[in-house]
Structure 1
Amino acid sequence: MTATTRSIVVWIIAGLLAFAFLGSGITKLLGVEMQIKNLESWGYPLWMRFPIGLSEIGFSIGLLIPAYRKWVVYGIFGWGIVAIYTHIKAAPPQYGMLGGPVIFLALATGLFFMIKKTTSK
């Protein structure tokens, strides 16, 4: 893969992740009913929507800044592990909701390795 193609793919993946995290963060901050119900079903206090939503918006911004992208991907790895744990430990377990965090982690992993190849040359 040429450097130009790799750069385009990195921007596409970063853009998709940024868009998804922005939407998720905004809905948490606005207190959309679905997000409130999710937080309650996970056993989190409702005030947690603010730090979670702000971190997700921070991910979306950081993904679009190449200098911070690698650090944001590390944050997404942590977020994904917590999200998977949350869905498994929910009462009842929400195995059907694992797809989102797993896909986000897969995209972040791909992004990580593409960034690593770009910076190692």
Structure 2
Amino acid sequence: MTPTIRKYGLLAITALVTVAFGAAGLSKLAGVEMMVATFDAIGWGQWFRYVTGIIEVGSAVLIWVPGKQWIGAGLLVCTMICAVLFHLLVLGPSFIPALVLGILAAIILIAHKPV
């Protein structure tokens, strides 16, 4: 793979992850009805929705900060591992979107891992 393809591919993945997690995090923080219902089903209380939303929005910003991308991507990978588990164990079988976003975040993490 040429360096140019790698560079722009990573840029496209980062942009996609930013839009996805920015939108998801903001909808959690705004109290969108579907998000409130999802976190009610989890059963841990709405505080968990707020924490998750803050992590998602904050991480979407961090993946653009030079030297901090690995932190944001790592937080998103951990968040998506939890999301996949919650879908499999509590919410139902719709874990594929969380899995895909977790894989994309892992690509960012690997590309920016500290030496």
> Fold-level match, TM-score > 0.5?
yes
Offset of 1:64 from its aligned partner?
1.8
Q: What amino acid does structure 2 have at the position aligned with 1:50?
A: Y
What is the TM-score when the length of structure 2 is the normalising length? Answer: 0.88
Uncovered stretches (5+) of structure 2, i.e. residues with no partner:
none
User: Identity over the aligned pairs, expressed in percent?
Assistant: 24
What are the Cα deviations for residues 21-41 of structure 1, in whole angstroms up to 9, with x where unaligned? 000110011100000010011
Q: Is the 8 A contact 1:42 1:87 kept in 2?
A: no
What is the TM-score when the length of structure 1 is the normalising length? Answer: 0.84
Alpha-carbon distance between aligned partners in 2 of 1:112 and 1:49, rounded to the nearest angstrom: 24
Tell me how large the CA RMSD over aligned residues is: 1.8
Q: Which of the two has greater helix per residue?
A: 1
Q: Residues 83-94 of structure 1: matches in 2 within 5 Å?
A: 83-90=83-90, 93-94=91-92
Matched, 1:45 2:45: yes
What are the Cα deviations for residues 23-82 of structure 1, in whole angstroms up to 9, with x where unaligned? 011001110000001001111201222111111001110112232112222112211111
Offset of 1:2 from its aligned partner?
2.3
Based on CA coordinates, which of the two structures has the bigger radius of gyration? 1
Alignment-derived partner of residue 80 in structure 2: 80
Q: Is the 8 A contact 1:21 1:57 kept in 2?
A: yes
What are the Cα deviations for residues 81-121 of structure 1, in whole angstroms up to 9, with x where unaligned? 1111111221xx4112x0121001221233334445xx87x
Alpha-carbon distance between aligned partners in 1 of 2:93 and 2:2, rounded to the nearest angstrom: 39
